[in-house]
């Protein structure tokens, strides 16, 4: 089940991930604390620990939650850029496990040109997991060839 998805901004990539307020209730902060840690697993099975913090509710009406600790290491390892997308998913693997489990997916928009109609390439945009981009069967998908990039998207002529 999707907790949230977000297209990344410059701040998200360079400093911290602004966390949506609407999903804050899905995370259990220790009593009297404004920070908690949780573990996520990425598409390749690697575990990551993130620190989620919020402003003190007694002093601020808007908690403004952010992912800080662990987030930059994830961004760098995945090579994330502005306009890429992350999805945080709740995973119920085993009813006996009491710990909440999360998965994270990093995605990039790929533009496929599967065919031409009246001499014009028809474009199909699709989000693809970062880990799967290299396996897309396409002759010109290898980066950093400029002909593969259009507005920070990969272009693949099939």
- Could you tell me whether strands 101-117 and 85-91 are parallel, antiparallel, or unpaired per DSSP bridges? antiparallel
Q: What is the pTM of this model?
A: 0.75
Give the three-class secondary structure for 134: helix
Give the three-class secondary structure for 132: helix
Give the whole-angstrom CA distance, residue 80 versus residue 7.
11
Would you give per-residue pLDDT tens digits along the chain (158 residues)? 888 999 999 999 999 998 888 887 777 777 878 888 889 999 888 999 999 888 666 565 666 888 888 999 999 999 999 999 999 998 876 666 556 589 999 999 988 776 676 777 677 788 989 988 777 765 444 333 334 444 444 555 44
Give the three-class secondary structure for 105: strand
- The closest of 62, 53, 65 to 23, measured between CA atoms, is 65
């Amino acid at each position: 089940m999707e907790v949230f998805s977000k297209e990344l901004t410059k701040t998200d990539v360079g400093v911290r991930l602004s966390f949506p307020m609407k999903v804050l209730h899905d995370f259990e902060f220790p009593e009297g604390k404004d920070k908690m840690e949780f573990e996520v697993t990425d598409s390749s099975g690697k575990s990551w620990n993130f620190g989620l913090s919020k402003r003190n509710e007694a002093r601020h009406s808007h908690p403004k939650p952010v992912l800080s600790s662990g987030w930059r290491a994830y961004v760098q390892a995945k090579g994330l850029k502005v306009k890429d997308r992350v999805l945080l998913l709740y995973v119920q693997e085993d009813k006996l496990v009491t710990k909440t489990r999360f998965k994270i997916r990093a995605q990039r928009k790929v533009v496929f040109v599967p065919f031409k109609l009246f001499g014009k390439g028809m474009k199909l945009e699709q989000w693809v997991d970062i880990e799967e981009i290299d396996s897309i069967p396409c002759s010109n998908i290898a980066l950093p060839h400029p002909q593969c990039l259009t507005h920070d998207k990969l272009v693949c002529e099939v």
